[in-house]
Amino acid sequence: MKRKVSLDEAWEKCIEAWEKITKDYNKKRGSIRELKFKHVPPSVERRCWFCEYAAQQHKNRATCCTKCPLAIIETGLRCNRARLNYLSDPKGFLKEIKKLNTKRKKEK
């Protein structure tokens, strides 16, 4: 059985992974999807630490996005929507999740 990921750990690991992904992407070392596979272990749900946390909190995979750490900070926020689309703007995605993490820590 997999070890549960805490909310804080999900944020830390997600930001850490996206720093590596963005760095490699800027150096033209692969597509975003290829770099997610490189920097996030295959045991992690959808190769995303936020999805891993959400899946552990909500057993119905079809609706687990409601438990995503992004949605906890801002209702309805999703990683694949225009504002935060990691595939079209990985650098902007990293910047935004860092900003949201700072907001989250202040609200603790």
Query: In a structure prediction context, what are the per-residue pLDDT tens digits for the chain, which is 108 residues long?
Result: 578 999 999 999 999 999 999 999 999 989 999 999 999 999 998 899 999 999 898 877 677 888 899 988 888 888 877 778 888 889 999 999 999 999 999 987
C-alpha 3: how far from chain center = 18
Q: What sign for the dihedral angle of Cα 32, 38, 40, 46?
A: positive
pTM: 0.90
- Domain residues of the chain, as ranges? 7-107
CA–CA distance, 70 with 79 (Å, rounded to integer): 8
